[in-house]
Structures are given as C-alpha cells and as structure tokens.
C-alpha cells in the first residue's frame, strides 16, 4: 500500500461531506422526478424544464456573478482571521444581493409578455412568469446566505442546507402537482424558493457577525470589486443559461414539448450519480484553490489530486448509468420515457468530460481571471448549441446526446490549454493514464450495453465490467488515503460479529 497523502485525505473528506448530502439529495430528487413523470408526463416535465431554465437565466443575470465573487471575498476575509473585515464583507454582500434580487424581479415582470412568447409562443404564460419573478428575489437572497456559509467553509451546514432543500422541494412540490397538475408547477417553484430562503437564513445566522459602521466610500469600493469580478462570471452564467434555454426553445419547435421533456429527463439522469463529486468541487475545492492560487506548485498538485479523486468516484457511477439506462428511465420516470435511454447513454460521455475539465476550469477563477473564464465558457456554449442544432437535425432527439460529449471534448482542450498557460503545470502521468484508460473502458461498456445478445450474457458481461471498474477504483482510493482493504474487511467482520 502506498504512503497516504494528506491532500487526497482532505479532498475525500470534503467530498464525503458535501457529496454525501448531494447523494441524499439525489435520492430525494429521484422520488420527486418519478412523481412529476407520473402526474405530469413528458409535457409537464418539459414545461418544468422550461420554467426552471428561464428562472435560472434571469437569476444569473440579476445575480451578477456574486455566487463566485461573494465566496471569493468571504474566503479571503475569513483567511485573514480579522473578524471585523469578515463582518464588513458579509454586510456588504447582503446589501448587494437584495439590490440585485429586486432588479431581477422587476426585469422579469417587465419582460414577462416577451418571455412568454419567446418560450412557448403563447401569451397565456405571461401571468405564471410574473409570479415566477418572486423566485428571482428569493434565490438571490438565498445565494448571499450560502456564499457566507461556503466562504467560511462551514461544510456541514452546507450539507444540511442541500438535504433540506431537496426535502422542501419534494414535500412542497408533490401536493402542488397532485392537486393542480401542470398549473401547480409555478406555485411549487415559488413556495420552494421561500423554503430555501428560510433554511439558508437559519444556518447563516449562526455565523458570528459583528455590527459594523457603514462607510459609504469603503462600501462602494467593495461593492464595485464584488461586481467587477462577478460581472465576467455573470456573463459566463448568462451564456450557459441562455444556451440551455435556447436549446429547449429550439427543441420545442423541432420536436415539440414532449421532446423537451425527454431531453430534460435524460440529462437530469445522466449526471445524477456523479453530482456528488461535482457539488464538492464547487463547494470546497474552489475556496481551497483560491487560498493557494499564487503557489503554482501546490496548485498543480491540488488539481491532479482532485482530478484523480473525481475519476475514481465518478467512473463506476458513469459505467452503471450506461448499463442500467433503459431500466433506469422506466423505474425513475415511466415507460413513456424509455425512448430517452439512447440520449442518456451518449450524454454520459459528456459528463465524463465535465468530471475531468471542471478541476481545470476552477483554476481560472481562483487566479482571478474572470475575463478569461468568460471567453472559455463562451466558446464552449456556442459549441454545444451549434452542435446540438446540427446533431438534432441529423439524428433527431438522440442527437442532443451525441452533441454533448463532442462539445465537452473541445471544452476540455480549451481549459487544459489555459490551465497550462496560467500555472505552467500539466496533468501528471497518472492522470493522463487514468483519463485514457477510463474513457476506453466506458466506450467498451457502451458497446457491450447496446449489443443485441441473450439477456443472460448481457448482464454477465456488463456486470463483470462494472465490478472490475468499481473494484479497481476502490483499491486506488484506499491506497491514496492510506486505508487498506484488509483493514476495512477486519472492521466489517468485527462489527458483524
């Protein structure tokens, strides 16, 4: 067994806390998705996806990138140990999110007739969109609270917020869908936003914040810094949100609202088993990376360690998604969604690209290169929109899945190049080896999963591959953190007696 590495231990600990909560949330979201699929069908699923992407887009615009810049400022202030500086930063952040939230709400109300027509080609959706504007304000205020919690690295509180958020959305949403059907989507989103705000406020108030005197000049400068760094990030989010929104609008016109529902269901499920890894990256990895951004040697080690941990945790889940795609669509949704299994299988390879590229992308933000981050994301989102358009025209709805991995291949090349330019570091030999090996294994699983063979052979071959991949990843993780498989077996045997 290799010598344990503190970096891997720290990453895995953070991933277990945030990822564990994300995994619980995933289970809850599966229940919620099943209910939506049964009660609302593909059309309702598509409508929910349209509303969600629309609100996400407007919230991103009004949020002005504060989700990233706020965490950065809080983390920097917290790192100094100066409680007064932390308190002033928190105070300014809270004022800013109120202002941006109100502006966003007004923007939705003013543009609601246009948004209704652009989204659905139907002005009857204007009033529901007006009511949805409330969620923009609620989301912005909640964002400010979670920035404070994340910036001070209160990971357990963030984990609780994630779990409670999923429970709230399910407990609130199910009755709305049951009693009001499709018309219950907007009330579910609004009431869910209120519940999220209450939850985030409850945990944020636990953080000690001193009362600070307002200084207009200092406040204005810090707000300017907050928005200046956040603006390119906001534009990046707008591009991503706009791309997601336009793809759905395009699909409504090309394959109807049912097609949007199938697309939404497949992509929601494609990353469901690895979202715990991606959640941990955004929650703990980014603040940790910010703290060492000036030390390129340590930065390179952190990126390589994070990438390997992400691969070992995600790849077995991705292989399982490919194998169980048809069964998963039927169980987690309904038989009407089973035709989306091919979309799901293709999209898994895009999620693999996301797993290996995100650790690189966060380096750009940690270095404070907001404009560079914007341009990389702009190119990536243009690529995914254009590729989705081309592939959907050529292969129909399954083309949306084919476009996803192609787009992420280009994105990974772009961010890797930028990572090298900013830090002078590269992927380690171990990372390169595992990226290539795991990609080939997933391709092999993909071929084995679509072979028209006897069902017994189908499950024997695919489950054997899954066990092989999972066992290898488990041994690699145990070696990295210094825990042998023999010791785990001894503990299990001891506890079992």
* Residue percentage of the chain with pLDDT more than 70: 80
**CA gyration radius, the chain:** 23
Task: Collect all residues with Cβ–Cβ distance below 8 Å to 419 and sequence separation of at least 6.
Answer: 303, 360, 363, 364, 425
Dump pLDDT digits (tens) for 433-448. Answer: 999 999 999 998 888 7
**Mean local confidence (pLDDT), 124-150:** 84
The pLDDT-based confidence of 214 (bands split at 50, 70, 90) is low
Reading the block at residue 278, the tokens are 């991606």
Task: Say whether pLDDT at 485 is over 50.
Answer: no
Task: Say whether pLDDT at 218 is over 70.
Answer: no
Which has the higher per-residue pLDDT, 122 or 7? 122
Cβ–Cβ < 8 Å for 119, 56: no
Report the chain's mean pLDDT, rounded to a whole number.
79
pLDDT of 272: 67
pLDDT of 450: 73
Whether the full predicted model's pTM is greater than 0.85, yes or no, is no
pLDDT of 418: 92
Burial class (CB in 10 A: 0-12, 13-18, 19+), 482: middle
* CA 126 – CA 9 distance, rounded (Å): 51
Which has the higher per-residue pLDDT, 196 or 21? 196
Largest CA distance in the chain: 74
Cβ–Cβ < 8 Å for 89, 70: no
Closest CA to 378 of 242, 249, 250: 242
The pLDDT-based confidence of 233 (bands split at 50, 70, 90) is low
pLDDT of 495: 43
- Tokens 């290799």 found at: 2
- Tokens 């042998």 found at: 484
Task: Say whether pLDDT at 471 is over 70.
Answer: yes
DSSP 3: P
DSSP 2: P
Task: Say whether pLDDT at 85 is over 70.
Answer: yes
* CA 64 – CA 237 distance, rounded (Å): 9
Q: List the single range of 221-235, 242-256, 264-278, 438-452 with lowest mean pLDDT.
A: 221-235
The pLDDT-based confidence of 258 (bands split at 50, 70, 90) is confident
């Amino acid at each position: 067994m290799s010598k344990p590495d503190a970096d891997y231990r720290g990453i895995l600990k953070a991933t277990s806390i945030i990822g564990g909560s994300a995994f619980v949330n995933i289970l809850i979201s599966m229940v919620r998705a099943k209910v939506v699929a049964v009660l609302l069908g593909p059309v309702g699923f598509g409508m929910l996806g349209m509303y969600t992407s629309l609100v996400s887009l407007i919230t991103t615009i009004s949020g002005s990138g504060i989700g990233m810049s706020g965490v950065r400022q809080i983390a920097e202030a917290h790192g100094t140990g100066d409680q007064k500086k932390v308190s002033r930063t928190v105070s300014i952040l809270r004022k800013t999110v109120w202002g941006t939230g109100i502006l966003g709400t007004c923007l939705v109300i003013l543009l609601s007739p246009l948004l209704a027509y652009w989204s659905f080609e139907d002005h009857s959706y204007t009033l529901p969109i007006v009511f949805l504007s409330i969620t923009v304000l609620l989301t912005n205020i909640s964002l400010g609270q979670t920035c404070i919690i994340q910036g001070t690295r209160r990971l357990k509180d963030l984990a609780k917020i994630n779990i409670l958020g999923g429970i709230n959305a399910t407990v609130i949403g199910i009755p709305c869908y049951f009693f009001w059907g499709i018309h219950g989507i907007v009330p579910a989103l609004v009431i869910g936003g209120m519940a999220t705000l209450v939850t985030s406020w409850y945990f944020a108030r636990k953080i000690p914040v001193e009362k600070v005197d307002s200084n207009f000049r200092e406040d204005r400068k810090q707000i300017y810094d907050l928005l200046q760094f956040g603006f390119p990030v906001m534009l990046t989010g707008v591009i991503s949100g706009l791309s997601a929104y336009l793809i759905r609008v395009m699909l409504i016109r090309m394959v109807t609202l049912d097609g949007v529902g199938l697309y939404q269901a497949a992509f929601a499920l494609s990353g469901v088993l690895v979202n715990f890894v991606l959640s941990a990256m955004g929650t703990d990895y980014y603040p940790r990376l910010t703290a060492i951004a000036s030390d390129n040697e340590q930065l390179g080690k952190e990126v390589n360690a994070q990438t390997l941990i992400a691969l070992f945790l995600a790849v077995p889940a991705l292989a399982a998604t490919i194998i169980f795609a048809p069964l998963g669509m039927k169980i987690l949704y309904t038989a009407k969604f089973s035709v989306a299994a091919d979309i799901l299988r293709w999209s898994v390879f895009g999620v693999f690209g996301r797993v290996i590229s995100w650790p690189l992308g966060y380096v750009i933000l940690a270095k404070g290169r907001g404009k560079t981050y914007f341009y990389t994301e702009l190119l990536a989102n243009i690529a995914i929109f254009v590729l989705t358009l081309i592939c959907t025209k050529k292969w129909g709805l399954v083309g949306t899945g084919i476009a996803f991995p192609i787009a992420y291949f280009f994105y990974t090349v772009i961010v890797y190049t930028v990572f090298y330019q900013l830090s002078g570091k590269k992927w380690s030999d171990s990372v390169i080896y595992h990226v290539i090996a795991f990609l080939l294994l997933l391709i092999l699983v993909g071929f084995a999963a679509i072979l028209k063979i006897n069902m017994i052979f189908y499950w024997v071959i695919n489950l054997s591959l899954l066990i092989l991949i999972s066992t290898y990843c488990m041994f690699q993780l145990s070696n990295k953190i210094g825990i042998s498989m023999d010791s785990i077996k001894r503990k299990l045997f001891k506890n079992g007696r």
